[in-house]
Amino acid sequence: MRKILTTMIILAGGLIFMSFAVVPENNSMNKSQKANLVIPNGVHSVIMQHCFMCHNMKSRGVKSKEKLNFDLLTHMELPTIVAKLQNISDAVNNDKMPPKKFLEHHPEKALNAYDKSLLTKWAVASADSLLRNK
């Protein structure tokens, strides 16, 4: 009985110590609170079909996932998310994404006018919303 009690006291002490030692990430101004970024189904589908292949955690292209990684997007700091959203809008608007070389081998990944409009409008509106509702 005494042994069990001693073990429980040690465990409780350990838990109390850890709660002081570990500072939650969102307590710091350096880290963002998790972004409230809503991706509607239509936009999600466009991203999955046309962008996700290169811009995800498991992608083989180091540069492409360094520039934009959809798996990490909502975990970034809020100013960085706005920067990435603006980048998506500019890259799609200026026909830089998907890259022309990539489209030579995957013509089915080209964005049509409707998809482009959907993606850019979402990116701009989301960036705007994050800037207004911080």
Partner 1 sequence: MKIRINKKTIIKLVGVLVALFLLIQLIPNKRPAVTMDNPSDLIQNTKMPPQVARMIQTSCYDCHSMETKYPWYDKMAPATWLVYRDIRVGRRKLNFSDWTKLSTAEKLKALNHIGEEVGSGDMPFLPYAIIHKKARLNKEQRKIIVDWTKQYSKDLFYAN
Positions in the binding site for partner 1 (CB under 8 A) = 29, 66-67, 77-80, 82-87, 90, 124, 127-128, 131, 134
Nearest 5°: the CA angle 80, 85, 91 is 120
Say if residue 85 is exposed, middle or buried (CB neighbours under 10 Å; 0-12, 13-18, 19+).
buried
Nearer to partner 1, 72 or 124 (CB): 124
Q: Burial letters for 15-51: b for 16+ Cβ neighbours within 10 Å, e otherwise?
A: eeeeeeeeeeeeeeeeebeebebeeeeebeebbeebb
Q: Which is nearer to partner 1, 93 or 109 (CB)?
A: 93
- Least separation in angstroms between residue 56's CB and partner 1 is 18
d(CA 52, CA 61): 12
Instruction: For residue 83, give both structure tokens.
Output: 């920067």
* Lookup: tokens for 130: 């994050």
- C-beta of 3: minimal distance to partner 1 in Å? 52
Q: Which is nearer to partner 1, 53 or 124 (CB)?
A: 124
CB of 99 to partner 1, least distance (A): 16
Closest contact distance (angstroms) between CB of 75 and partner 1 is: 15
Q: Which is nearer to partner 1, 60 or 132 (CB)?
A: 132
